[in-house]
């Protein structure tokens, strides 16, 4: 009997890892469909000062910002969920409307402008001339839906002239369609118990071996790993994938790190909440071995 259960568990692992390898949820046709407003805009300007600020000898630098954002049609989100989505996309905790947050983001220079005296802005029609060193910011978001969830993926890239490299992020937000609210990790499990479970997932599950090989030395051999700010649920509701941004647990060269937690594996190591059991269904359980 034990041998039969072991074979069943191994087969479930193969199936779960195959499903978990989906990078992100895929859009599916719904009835009725959930529509999204796709908004894009850009802004370019020059910054000049009365003193040399940027090498080589130059008192002018360009800024080019652009975004392309998928936003749900009115009535699908609670006001709190809208604010959380605005914060995730634009990083503006004070904004209360999309237009307010977007306008502020387009005007961002990507360095501490308030520390530079007598700095002036000059709008540019079109793009900044190639001969002028430039900072830039780019934002892009997509939205996918399944029968119960809306999955937002927000990618950003920023660069400062003369920097060794730019910075990029990929953030995620999951929204319960029926409730119109954001799904947080604490809604699914006891996050206080998650640190050691992440370590076990990195060490024991083959799908997470690249993370183990990329860790900063300070995290190697430790009993716990920090809880990341980002996660997503695959469209089949079989996995939670934790996402660590650049420099969080690994060097820049190793990129963004992801730890896959198959639901049936996770349910053996940490209690799932009643809401999680409802969301994930029978896949959250395994027969006793």
Question: Average pLDDT over the chain, rounded to whole?
Answer: 85
Residue 20 lies in a domain: no
Q: Which domain holds residue 44?
A: 36-182
Same domain, 168 and 205: no
CATH of the domain at 243: 3.90.640.20
Residue 246 lies in a domain: yes
Same domain, 112 and 168: yes
With the C-alpha atoms ordered 105, 110, 115, 119, is the resulting torsion angle positive or negative?
Answer: negative
CA within 13 Å, CB half, 1: 3
Q: What does the pLDDT read at residue 111? A: 74
CATH of the domain at 140: 3.30.565
Residue 208 lies in a domain: yes
Question: CA–CA separation, 127 vs 63, rounded Å?
Answer: 9
Same domain, 256 and 124: no
Same domain, 217 and 144: no
Same domain, 196 and 80: no
Same domain, 151 and 191: no
Residue range 259-288, pLDDT digits in tens: 999 999 999 999 999 999 999 987 555 544
Residue 42 lies in a domain: yes
Counted domains in the chain:
2
Residue 160 lies in a domain: yes
What is the DSSP pairing of strand 134-145 with strand 60-72? parallel
Same domain, 212 and 120: no
- Listed in order, strand segments (DSSP E) in the chain are 36-48, 60-72, 120-123, 134-145, 149-159, 167-176, 181-182, 230-233, 239-244, 257-262
3-state secondary structure of 19: helix
Residue 47 lies in a domain: yes
* Residue that terminates a domain, selected from 142, 163, 182: 182
pLDDT, tens digit only, all 289 positions of the chain: 434 434 444 444 444 444 454 445 544 444 446 789 999 999 999 988 776 666 656 678 899 999 999 998 888 899 999 999 999 999 999 988 999 999 999 999 887 666 676 788 899 998 999 888 899 999 999 999 998 999 999 999 999 888 888 999 999 999 999 899 999 999 999 999 999 999 999 999 999 999 999 999 999 999 999 999 999 999 989 999 999 999 999 999 999 999 999 999 999 999 999 999 999 987 555 544 4
Question: CA–CA separation, 231 vs 211, rounded Å?
Answer: 15
Question: For the CA atoms of 156, 194, 177, 208, what is the dihedral angle to 10 degrees?
Answer: 60
Same domain, 171 and 192: no
3-state secondary structure of 66: strand
The DSSP string of 172-215 is: EEEEETTTTEEPPGGGTB-GGGHHHHHHHHHHH-GGGHHHHHH-
CA within 13 Å, CB half, 48: 6
Same domain, 54 and 139: yes
Question: pTM value?
Answer: 0.84
* Residue that terminates a domain, selected from 130, 156, 182: 182
Contacts of 223 by beta carbon, 8 Å cutoff, 6+ apart: 195, 196, 199
Residue 30 lies in a domain: no
* Residue that terminates a domain, selected from 150, 182, 214: 182
Are the beta carbons of 270 and 193 closer than 8 angstroms?
yes
Question: CA–CA separation, 158 vs 140, rounded Å?
Answer: 12
User: What's the token pair of residue 32?
Assistant: 């009725």
Same domain, 41 and 178: yes
Same domain, 68 and 109: yes
Residue 12 lies in a domain: no
Same domain, 259 and 162: no
Are the beta carbons of 272 and 280 closer than 8 angstroms?
yes
Residue range 39-73, pLDDT digits in tens: 999 999 998 877 666 665 667 889 999 999 999 88
Rg (CA), the chain: 22
């Amino acid at each position: 009997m034990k041998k039969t259960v072991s074979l069943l568990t191994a087969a479930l692992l193969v199936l779960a890892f195959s499903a978990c390898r989906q990078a992100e949820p895929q859009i599916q046709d719904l009835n009725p469909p959930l529509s999204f407003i796709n908004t894009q805009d850009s802004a370019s300007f020059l910054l000049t000062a009365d003193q040399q600020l940027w090498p080589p000898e130059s008192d002018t630098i360009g800024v080019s910002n652009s975004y392309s954002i998928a936003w749900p049609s009115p009535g699908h989100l609670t006001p709190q969920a809208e604010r959380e989505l605005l914060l995730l996309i634009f990083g503006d905790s004070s904004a209360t409307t999309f237009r307010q947050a977007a306008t502020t983001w387009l005007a961002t220079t990507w360095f501490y402008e308030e520390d530079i005296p007598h700095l002036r802005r000059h709008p540019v029609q079109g793009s900044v001339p190639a001969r002028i060193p430039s900072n830039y910011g780019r934002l892009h978001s997509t939205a996918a839906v399944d029968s119960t969830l809306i999955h937002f993926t927000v990618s950003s890239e920023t660069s400062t002239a003369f920097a060794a490299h730019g910075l990029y992020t990929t953030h995620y937000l999951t929204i319960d369609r029926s409730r119109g609210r954001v799904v947080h990790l604490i809604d699914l499990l006891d996050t206080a118990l998650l640190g050691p479970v992440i370590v076990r997932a990195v060490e024991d599950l083959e799908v997470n071996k690249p993370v183990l090989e990329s860790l900063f030395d300070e995290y190697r051999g430790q009993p716990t790993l920090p809880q990341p700010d980002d996660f997503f649920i695959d469209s089949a509701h079989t996995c939670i994938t934790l996402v660590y941004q650049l420099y969080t647990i690994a060097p820049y060269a190793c990129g963004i790190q992801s730890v896959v937690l198959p639901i049936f594996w996770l349910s053996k190591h940490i209690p799932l909440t009643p809401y999680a059991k409802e969301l994930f269904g029978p896949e959250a359980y395994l027969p006793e071995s």
